[in-house]
Chains A and B, each alone.
Chain A
Amino acid sequence: MTLSAAIRTGDVAQLPGKRDEDWRWTDLRGLIRVLPPPSPEVSGEVGDGPFGPAELTIVNGRLRGDTAALVVPAGETRTVRLRFVSASEATSHGAHLAVELGEGARLTLLESHEGRAADYVADAVLTIGVGKDAALERIVLTNDDPGAVTVSTAIVTLGYGARLSQTVLAGGAKRQRIETRVEHPGHGAQVRLDGAYLLAAQRHADLTSVVTHDGVGGVTDQLAKGVVRDQARGVFQGRIVVAEGADKTDARMGHHALILSDRAEVDAKPELEIYADDVACAHGNTVGALDEDALFYIRQRGVPEPEARALLTEAFVGEVVERIEHEGAREAAAAWVAARLGG
């Protein structure tokens, strides 16, 4: 039951729906009665993405140039900008890209999902292998059309001692899901899995992740934040699995959301699934409005209320942005956040 299978076969029965436990808050089957026709090939210019000129560009599901995979050989360090562009109105497409990091390699992957048309249905799958002692920092920015339905899935396999640091910034769409699955072998491997969704109007965004700890001594640190206003809907589903024998696992998950209107909605399911006893796992989840005391404090200092609210909201999301290691990416992310909180 995936969107990619539905696009490939044209069969809407393949779409996941609210009766599937993992899709209860992102019902695609109930939404899409007929899949739009396949997207055409587009050869024209698509301009620059939010991170500047890109090394890899995928338009309507087709990779430009003749690379089929992104490979970083052992020991090398790279920064790659990867763009997924949807350029044709009311059409559907799927894309797949393999990313491979050799032993000790380093990659900063600056990924963007951009809508240059309306009402498209887009699916993207990344399969990522991070070799022994290699490090991947992945930053994902989305700028999708409000009428689009998009699903982006990353399946990450880590080697011993590998590091994954990820930050997803979701701006939402009609339905937008960004899913990350991590096979975590422990043995010195470390994962940081952050995300934020900033939603207005009737946008929806779903951050879903599953981290499976299979070996001894794995570390996972997850922080997700959300701000919803108007009639927007934010979804967070995080699952941390600790398999039998994965002792000394240290996993922490936090999800915190602000609801800034009376009709916005946040749905969250932070899950722990634990089959080993010598572990320290915790999750925290809070949903609420801005702290009135903090607001009062700032206004007392002479700051007008709208600015005080903006300041607090920015600080709230700022925690996620600050954890981005790549400086340029951090600035791009900060600009992305500012543009969305400004209104």
Chain B
Amino acid sequence: MAVAKQTVEHVEALEKYKHGFVTEIDQEFAPKGLDADTIRFISAKKDEPEWMLNWRLEAFERWLVLEEPAWAKVHFPRIDYQDAYYYAAPKTKQGPKSLDEVDPEILATYDKLGIPIKEQMVLAGVEGAPKYAVDAVFDSVSVVTTFKKELAEAGVIFCSMSEAIREHGDLVRKYLGSVVPVSDNYYACLNSAVFSDGSFVYVPPGVRCPMELSTYFRINAAESGQFERTLIIADKGSYVSYLEGCTAPTRDENQLHAAVVELVALDDAEIKYSTVQNWYPGDPETGKGGIYNFVTKRADCRGPRSKVSWTQVETGSAITWKYPSCILRGDESSGEFYSIAITNGRQQADTGTKMIHLGANTRSRIISKGISAGRSSNTYRGLVSAHPKAKGARNFTQCDSLLIGKRCAAHTVPYIEARNGQAVFEHEATTTRLSEDQLFYVMQRGLSQEEAVQLLVNGFVKDVLQELPMEFAVEAQKLVAISLEGSVG
């Protein structure tokens, strides 16, 4: 039976976190700790123009006076910001010119992760199979970006952030920090000072990006943090779909991942941003180790009729603290947020979204599915607000939580701020456990308890899964099953 076989394979492959290996490569580090010199070091390493260095230093000055926030329902020991490396890069004599020059160890790592970096592998696939361009970020630097030539023909710029700063300085300067201001919050401010790499996308007016773009982030080096910065600009009437995936090795220590993602959608443009986050969640028994995923993601629907859609599958990280948001500035712009957040073991997640309605007739839709198992804690926190000018704004929010086990927790904290009489907001939320009746029914049909739970959970999250691009949907579905491993019985 195919389902049974697949389950057995899952269990075997995923007794442990399967991306938990470390790749032994020569790495170059910035000295441990954080001061203005660290920032100068990073900036010099990346051969950045003067304005970029000043921008970073200014961010650092502001970060020093900011206080670490404590309002989320997550608990962790104080982070010692001086006890980490802020820059780790695979050692190369010069930047790789082509795939052949990339350290084979790194390529092997991505191979293990199942990322089709090599274009040949994609091309070798079925004729007409969808292609997707990949930007791979290893610790602090982007190691390779594929399909550049083909994208360039369409006029799409897809490259690493460091390259964009050097070669498309004007665009970067215009948009960087325009959605998430430097001192927006503690972690975004830290990121502005020390960000190392990330992806940059620019889609020119009227262009529909010919393929899915994707980035894989991998934290490899010990005691290091990853601070990537992604900036996507969809010019008037353009469309782009972007995927992001993350993994990290198994370690006893906690590692910080404080990224900033900024999306700008101009008139009639559309951005679809999908994330499958599978950072190392820490040891399920002791809660030791794992990634602190403190990320600021925000989209600015600047132009009329623009649209941004966030889809996220959050299964990893010891602590997840993020709220992909949409600022609906343009009239008739719309924002969507589809989320599956699964916590197991000792994981903690405080995640959700913000839909800020500024323009007239703006629309937003939020579908959130939280599943908590083991001894984990899962919080949905979301804000929907309508400003006095947002006449005719509409929001629909649905958040459902599923509890599996006696010692887990699920919280729902929606904030609704309506400041005009012509906005309509609807919110509904439920919290339940898996229905005994449904379980019984499915098991009666011959499925084991584990299989039955998987089937029901997949049904529970279906609304969100179907929003993911095809390739990711399959991966995400498996990930959902894997994450719940050992949560029943």
Binding site for B on A (CB under 8 A): 21, 244, 257, 259-289
Complex Cα–Cα for A276 and B404 (A): 9
Known: A272-B431, A280-B431. 12 other contacts (CB 8 A): A259-B423, A262-B421, A262-B422, A263-B388, A270-B414, A271-B414, A277-B404, A277-B406, A282-B430, A285-B416, A285-B427, A286-B427
Determine whether the beta carbon of B425 is less than 8 Å from that of A288.
yes
Residue of A nearest to B419 (CB): A265
Residue of A nearest to B391 (CB): A262
Complex Cα–Cα for A21 and B432 (A): 26
Complex Cα–Cα for A16 and B376 (A): 32
A residues in contact with B431, CB < 8 Å: 272, 274, 279-282
- Picked from A261, A262, A273, A286, the residue with its CB within 8 Å of the CB of B425 is A286
Determine whether the beta carbon of A260 is less than 8 Å from that of B421.
yes
B residues in contact with A277, CB < 8 Å: 403-406, 408, 433
Interface residues on B, range: 35 or more
A residues in contact with B422, CB < 8 Å: 262, 289
Determine whether the beta carbon of A287 is less than 8 Å from that of B411.
no
Residue of A nearest to B409 (CB): A275
Determine whether the beta carbon of B428 is less than 8 Å from that of A265.
no
Question: Given A268-B416, A274-B411: A259 and B406 within 8 A (CB)?
Answer: no
Considering only residues 425-462 of chain B, those with a C-beta below 8 Å from chain A are 425-433
Determine whether the beta carbon of A272 is less than 8 Å from that of B411.
yes
Residue of A nearest to B400 (CB): A282
Q: A243: shortest Cβ distance to chain B, in Å? A: 10
A-B contact pairs, 6 of them (CB 8 A): A257-B418, A263-B388, A274-B410, A274-B411, A277-B405, A280-B430
Residue of A nearest to B377 (CB): A275
A residues in contact with B71, CB < 8 Å: 21
Determine whether the beta carbon of B432 is less than 8 Å from that of A280.
yes
Question: Given A262-B422, A285-B426, A286-B427: A274 and B401 within 8 A (CB)?
Answer: yes
Binding site for A on B (CB under 8 A): 71, 388, 391, 401, 403-433
B residues in contact with A260, CB < 8 Å: 421
Determine whether the beta carbon of B418 is less than 8 Å from that of A259.
yes
Question: Given A269-B416, A283-B429: A264 and B410 within 8 A (CB)?
Answer: no
Q: B239: shortest Cβ distance to chain A, in Å? A: 32
A residues in contact with B413, CB < 8 Å: 269, 271
Residue of B nearest to A266 (CB): B418
Taking each of B408, B412, B423, which has the highest tally of chain A beta carbons within 10 Å of its own beta carbon?
Answer: B412
Residue of A nearest to B389 (CB): A262
Complex Cα–Cα for A278 and B402 (A): 10
A residues in contact with B427, CB < 8 Å: 270, 283-286
From DSSP, what is the main secondary structure of chain A's interface residues?
strand
What is the number of contacts between chain A and chain B, taking CB atoms within 8 Å?
Answer: 112
Determine whether the beta carbon of A264 is less than 8 Å from that of B430.
no
Complex Cα–Cα for A48 and B415 (A): 40
A residues in contact with B426, CB < 8 Å: 285-286, 288
9 closest A-B pairs by CB = A277-B403, A288-B424, A285-B427, A259-B421, A268-B416, A277-B433, A272-B412, A281-B431, A287-B418
Q: A262: shortest Cβ distance to chain B, in Å? A: 5
Determine whether the beta carbon of A279 is less than 8 Å from that of B412.
no
Complex Cα–Cα for A103 and B407 (A): 34
Determine whether the beta carbon of A289 is less than 8 Å from that of B417.
no
Residue of B nearest to A279 (CB): B431
Determine whether the beta carbon of B428 is less than 8 Å from that of A283.
yes
Q: B249: shortest Cβ distance to chain A, in Å? A: 32
B residues in contact with A272, CB < 8 Å: 401, 410-412, 429, 431
Determine whether the beta carbon of B433 is less than 8 Å from that of A278.
yes
Q: A280: shortest Cβ distance to chain B, in Å? A: 6
Question: Given A270-B414, A271-B412, A274-B410: A287 and B423 within 8 A (CB)?
Answer: yes
Residue of B nearest to A253 (CB): B429
Residue of B nearest to A252 (CB): B430
Determine whether the beta carbon of B416 is less than 8 Å from that of A266.
yes
Q: B376: shortest Cβ distance to chain A, in Å? A: 11
A residues in contact with B428, CB < 8 Å: 282-285
Determine whether the beta carbon of A281 is less than 8 Å from that of B430.
yes
Q: A71: shortest Cβ distance to chain B, in Å? A: 38
Question: Given A274-B401, A281-B430, A282-B431: A244 and B414 within 8 A (CB)?
Answer: no
Q: B390: shortest Cβ distance to chain A, in Å? A: 11
Determine whether the beta carbon of B416 is less than 8 Å from that of A289.
no
Determine whether the beta carbon of B418 is less than 8 Å from that of A271.
no
B residues in contact with A267, CB < 8 Å: 415-418
Determine whether the beta carbon of B421 is less than 8 Å from that of A269.
no
Question: Given A244-B406, A277-B433, A281-B430: A269 and B415 within 8 A (CB)?
Answer: yes
Determine whether the beta carbon of B420 is less than 8 Å from that of A262.
yes
Q: A285: shortest Cβ distance to chain B, in Å? A: 4
Q: A26: shortest Cβ distance to chain B, in Å? A: 13
Determine whether the beta carbon of B424 is less than 8 Å from that of A289.
yes
Complex Cα–Cα for A50 and B9 (A): 72
Complex Cα–Cα for A21 and B71 (A): 8
A residues in contact with B404, CB < 8 Å: 277
Determine whether the beta carbon of A265 is less than 8 Å from that of B418.
yes
Question: Given A262-B388, A280-B432, A286-B427: A274 and B403 within 8 A (CB)?
Answer: yes
Determine whether the beta carbon of A283 is less than 8 Å from that of B412.
yes
Determine whether the beta carbon of B419 is less than 8 Å from that of A279.
no
A residues in contact with B415, CB < 8 Å: 267-269
A residues in contact with B433, CB < 8 Å: 277-279
Question: Given A21-B71, A274-B411, A282-B430: A287 and B424 within 8 A (CB)?
Answer: yes
- Picked from B409, B410, B420, the residue with its CB within 8 Å of the CB of A259 is B420
Q: B387: shortest Cβ distance to chain A, in Å? A: 10
Taking each of B422, B431, B432, which has the highest tally of chain A beta carbons within 10 Å of its own beta carbon?
Answer: B431
Complex Cα–Cα for A266 and B426 (A): 13
Q: B66: shortest Cβ distance to chain A, in Å? A: 14
- Picked from A262, A265, A285, the residue with its CB within 8 Å of the CB of B414 is A285
Determine whether the beta carbon of B406 is less than 8 Å from that of A276.
yes
Determine whether the beta carbon of B411 is less than 8 Å from that of A271.
yes
B residues in contact with A262, CB < 8 Å: 388, 391, 420-422
A residues in contact with B423, CB < 8 Å: 259, 287-288
Complex Cα–Cα for A278 and B436 (A): 10
Complex Cα–Cα for A266 and B421 (A): 10
A residues in contact with B425, CB < 8 Å: 285-288
B residues in contact with A268, CB < 8 Å: 414-416
Determine whether the beta carbon of A264 is less than 8 Å from that of B409.
no
Q: A284: shortest Cβ distance to chain B, in Å? A: 5
Complex Cα–Cα for A286 and B423 (A): 10
Complex Cα–Cα for A288 and B395 (A): 10
Q: A31: shortest Cβ distance to chain B, in Å? A: 19
Taking each of B71, B418, B422, B433, which has the highest tally of chain A beta carbons within 10 Å of its own beta carbon?
Answer: B418
B residues in contact with A269, CB < 8 Å: 413-416
- Picked from B409, B414, B420, B432, the residue with its CB within 8 Å of the CB of A263 is B420
Q: A318: shortest Cβ distance to chain B, in Å? A: 21
Determine whether the beta carbon of A261 is less than 8 Å from that of B421.
yes
Taking each of A263, A266, A278, which has the highest tally of chain B beta carbons within 10 Å of its own beta carbon?
Answer: A266
Determine whether the beta carbon of A274 is less than 8 Å from that of B409.
yes
A residues in contact with B416, CB < 8 Å: 266-269, 285, 287
A residues in contact with B401, CB < 8 Å: 272, 274
